[in-house]
Chain A
Amino acid sequence: MAYTAAMLLLLASLTFAQDAPPLIDALPPPPPAPTCAPGQDPTGPWPTAIIDTVAAEALNAHLFPADIDWTTKERAGVRTDGAVVIHNGTVIYEAYGPGWDADKRHLTWSASKTVMAALTGVAVHQGALSVDDSICDHIAVTDDAACAITVQNLLEMSSGFDWRETYEGVSPTASSVLGMLYGEGQSDMAGFVTGHPLRAAPGTDWSYSSGDTNVLSAVVGSALAESNGEFYPWTALFDRLAMRPTWERDGSGTFVGSSYLWATPRDMGRFGTFLLHDGCWLGTEILPRDWVTSMSALNGVVTTAAADDDRAYGWQTWLNVPTPTATERRWPNAPSSAYAAMGHWGQSITVLPEHNMVIVRMADDRDHSYDHGTTLALAIALVEAP
């Protein structure tokens, strides 16, 4: 009896569903997608209005401690080489350490990775690449097992390659990344990386890897070079942002997307502003809509895999959100919407969307005495102080 009643109810609901207008018609139309606002980005020198307040003095004292001895071989303490804060498109703080100035390019180390993610977005926007593409759609590999790796796996640092990202303090000869940059891998870094066996299925295990980024660089290069020329990072991105960086290559000509972008702090500020504006520049959409949102959101592998406190990571970008197993945010004094390109020895390009602010710091930190969260709090205080 109950079964018959249930069947009748199901039949009635199906009949109603067939007669009812499609549900989609009953919903309000989606809001129009945001468009690139024209004229919000600088093409020439940055508009500059340096803030000279107690708050600026506090930021300066934090970034350039008075007791730092720049001559010691130990290179101890907070050693800022250059810092720029951009608020509402205007440079409001800028300072340099001994020997550095606005025109000198500084090595960004792994902050290069975030630029590589943006360049990947350019390739997708141009229709030269899809995040679902297999790497084998674009580059040759020696082991077909690597063909299971997609562009998105690389963006998420989840290729699954058996890779060791170790630097100082661990046997150098066992370091995959040192072997890639300075040893047998430097002649063809993507080939070196894809020659490693898989230790996990692609897309199942997050493991920070400069190797993944350099495979991504080779894939993006294959996709963009034909239509944008050999110097595609400039023609497709840097020239449009009026940036003048150096990006060094491996022995095969692939840009070392993991580590070797050199740029002035102001140029890094341009890149941060480009991200802040969701991939728009001078009213032109350069990245796919939502690309920056994807770069700055906790990636799917981190969300689903067992996570620790160092995995607040998007697409080649560090985040300030809790992970499933770590409730403490990376920079508790900054909004959870903050995200950053970060590199060895203290490099960072931090974007604070809620404050319409970009904070660039180039440095030579050799110990752990620098606190980036304090920098962010002091930078925010520049515009919030009475």
Chain B
Amino acid sequence: MNRTILTVMLTALLAGCGGNKDIRTYDNSLFQLASGFAAKEICSCVFVAERDEETCDEWTRVSPNVAGHHIDYNAKTVRSRSLGMGKTLARYVDAQTGCVIDRE
């Protein structure tokens, strides 16, 4: 529980840390970026590189690790959520095109 609270606080801090007002920020939250990264890269890792889920989970692990994911091997999709605030679906198309993001 304490770890979850700490992660949320740290994440919120990072999400808002534009810091310098001269630096442009984008219309993305850290949660969207995290779920986008996890969904897309886990999808590619599993279905393009044909590696196992545990390996792909480690390969895409970032700190703080706020994105969870679910792989649908039949539909060849990966759905990722970041603490309920960012959701992304990535789907495998074919061997030439690999995975693409379908923002939810």
> Interface of A with B (CB < 8 Å)?
73, 75, 99, 104-107, 162, 164, 168, 171-174, 176, 178-179, 181-187, 231, 234, 244, 246-251, 260, 262, 364
Contact = CB atoms under 8 A, between A and B. Distances in A.
A280 B29 CA distance: 46
A245 to B, nearest CB: 8
Contacts of B83: none
B33 interface: yes
Nearest to B26: A179
A262 B98 contact: yes
B5 interface: no
Interface of B: 14-19, 23-30, 32-34, 36-37, 40, 44, 48-52, 55, 58-59, 61-62, 88, 95-101, 103
B58 A174 contact: no
Q: Is the interface of A mostly helix, strand, loop or mixed?
A: loop
Contacts of B32: 182-183
A209 to B, nearest CB: 14
Contact of A183 (B14, B15, B36): B36
A183 B15 CA distance: 13
A173 B58 contact: no
B25 A174 contact: yes
The 7 closest A-B pairs by CB, nearest first: A182-B36, A183-B28, A248-B98, A179-B26, A246-B98, A171-B17, A182-B37
A16 to B, nearest CB: 63
Taking each of B24, B28, B44, B55, which has the highest tally of chain A beta carbons within 10 Å of its own beta carbon?
B28
Nearest to B51: A99
Given A162-B24, A171-B23, 5 more contacts: A73-B58, A183-B36, A186-B101, A186-B103, A187-B103
A104 B100 contact: no
Contacts of A174: 18-19, 23-26
B30 A173 contact: yes
A171 B14 contact: yes
Taking each of A73, A99, A173, A244, which has the highest tally of chain B beta carbons within 10 Å of its own beta carbon?
A173
Nearest to B40: A182
Nearest to A261: B98
B15 A248 contact: no
A106 B59 CA distance: 12
